[in-house]
Structure 1
Amino acid sequence: MVAARTVTSTVRVLESLPALLRDDHRVTVVFAYDPTSAFGAGVLDVLRETGCRVMPWEQLADITPDLILSASENVDLPEGDCPVLILPHGVGFQKLVPDSRGPRERLSGVVPDALLESGRAWLAISHPSQEEQLLATHPKAAGRTLLVGDPCFDELTASRAMRAAYREALGVAEGQRLVMVSSTWGPTSLLGTQPDLPARLLAQLPYDNYKVGAIVHPNVWSAHGAWQLRALQASALDAGLMLMPAVHAWRPALVAADVLVGDHGSVSLYGASCGTPLLLAAFGADAVPDTAAHTMAALAPRLDPHGNLREQIEDALREHTPERYAEVSTRAFDEPGHALARLRTALYHLLRLDLPTGCDRAEGEGPERRLEPDLLGRPGAQQHADDQHGRHERGTASPASTYSRIS
């Protein structure tokens, strides 16, 4: 059973699960939607569009699954004996977030102590340092981690071979540069602090030489809605901003980028680890110290929002070296290329099933997964035009105050 709570966590499971269970007729998967998250809008749409079988959350106590799988650590699971495997919905434990169960902040990605104490929970991690981090902050997680690596990072790396196809799908002409703006969610994010940055980039970068896209965290889409987000970025969309669809498009868009303007979100970590030139436009205090995110922050140049944006973009491209963020990748991802096989081995172990015949084991090399260009969908500039943006009512809230409510 897959517990789906937010778009981010639901999509993270959907990215890997088909490959993990490919051609295995012994396993039946059902999804259950936990409607308690403030960022749950869109989850049912994703599940239905994907063709998933969805059961009411209230009926969860009436079934006896062999395994509960989720990429949301905050699901309110019923009591039972079956194991619970929690996948990360980003890179490691890099961020402090408000705790929906109380007034304090918590470490994103860690399940409640009660579930750890039950002995049912297993946390998939991408690097041994994350286990050390958990032992220091959450001693009850001792012995409850599974080192699998990061299937998403492996897929991004393998997909570099498809980069030209992604750029063609985005309409990036030969000789043009693609600047991708990435924002996590919350008041300290790029859009939370500089909501007009995409529009200002488009105003300063020559139209014939540059294209600008934006990858916005699904929590922003869920909290605002697609219409509101497009209204808040109307000027940028009018100028040609390609707003990536919320679900799968960010991955090929990131591979296609020539330079990334980001913040402390996981997309920046993935981009830097893949060797993409990076400019940090924001880095919030909610980023956890002594993690790969802080290593990235120490190495990446900062964007001066009041300076010449074109010069800073060109400087980042000119001064970048392929090995600049090697330490970030080394600290975030263990043995790249093996994650899917390791995760499959862990999954079948928890299901108490033998691996399917002929299946690649964790110690072997599995086939590389590459992202298809059609995941890019319809970039937001075209969607914006189709929505007749001239009729949008802007309301009274400024973009900065609206983004800052996402916390």
Structure 2
Amino acid sequence: MLSQEEKQYALKKYIEFLQHPSVSATGEGIRDTASWLKDFMTELGIDSTIEDTGGHPVVLGKVNNGGDKTLLVYNHYDVQPVDPLNEWKYPPFSATIENNVVYARGASDNKGVLIARLIAFSKYKGNLNFKFLFEGEEEIGSVHLSEYVEKHKEKLNADAVIMEGAGLDAKGRPMIILGVKGLLYVQLTVRTGDRDVHSSNAPIVFNPVWELIKILNSIYDGEKVKLKGFYDDIEPINAEIKELLEKYDVDPEDIRKSLGVFKLKTSDIKSLFTVPTCNIDGIISGYTGKGSKTIVPSYAMVKMDFRLVPNQDPKKILSSLIDHIKDKAQIEVMGMEKPVRTSPNSNVVKAMINSAKRVYLNDPVIIPNSAGTQPMGVFADLGIKEIVSAIGVGTPSSNAHAPNENVNLENFYKAIEHAYEFYNEYEKLNK
């Protein structure tokens, strides 16, 4: 348990951190926040540096406690833009506390977790070695992280990685996520002319929208992705993962309501974690203004993402997509991430489960991989096999990425306790 003095110190640093804007999309406050973070880490006895990446800097820390095992702690100090500003109850960087709840951009995603882990480190007295990697571009897609990690892989090598926290579910249970889906994000553009033309020419000119529709229908038929080899490398669901999925007890109707959709495609919510997808994010073409304008557009563009499950390779999927489309459209790659899944029997997962039970007095919810993506793959490329996302401060009502982002301070203090217990448990299991 934290003493009252420890809580006051932790809250003071949390509030200071939240009051430093660090919006990666605009660059607002990024350098200043990185500098504050480095100074705080130095205050805690962490050998810290600010390192350039070609974009926003990372803050890197290292502590050698003389142990045989090294834990790499990943978080990000950047936050989403605050728009729409008029929907905020309090100024988004004021870090206002009301009824034991702090309101601020970044409170949940990801500054609360970052501070909680550092405060927990300050209490830790064992022999586990630490490396801290705090990124400034996660909210804009970790643009330079892969290149940075590859360039500095020798000083980033570790035995396990804990990613930004998964938080608590709607029932207040801590979530432990063992991996992520991979991602291939592309933009396809079909061009049929230098400019739009009068629609009277429709009998003799190609319409790029119809051509794009043909391409999209040839890629996905509403049930299956039709790219050659798309499903060939999918890792079979083993007994360990099957057992985790059987314990996943979420009501599909609760999910539907939380998403604000009228109907779900399936009641099999577990497909979120096991089924790869082909999704259209947006389409632009032609005239979409008020009234009518009779034209044949000159181009049509679509943004698409493929979410991938373990063993699918985004580079291989991209190659198949290029072969499939040939010269029918231009392809621009806008993002690639590898899927990752850590064994539930690994020491990092066992330590996370045991420590969560002690702190929350409840069994954690264990998910084989998230339905979304974060940059776990860059660490898997280092040869690190134990990577997990857990220890979080947020709940489904924390409004991450939205106005009035908030965290209950009791959840913040619990995250500190969880991180502290985890550090000790992970060290014990590796002796």
TM-score of the two chains, using structure 2 as the length reference: 0.24
Whichever structure has more helix as a proportion of its residues is 1
Please identify the structure whose Cα radius of gyration is greater: 2
TM-score of the two chains, using structure 1 as the length reference: 0.25
Whichever structure has more strand as a proportion of its residues is 2
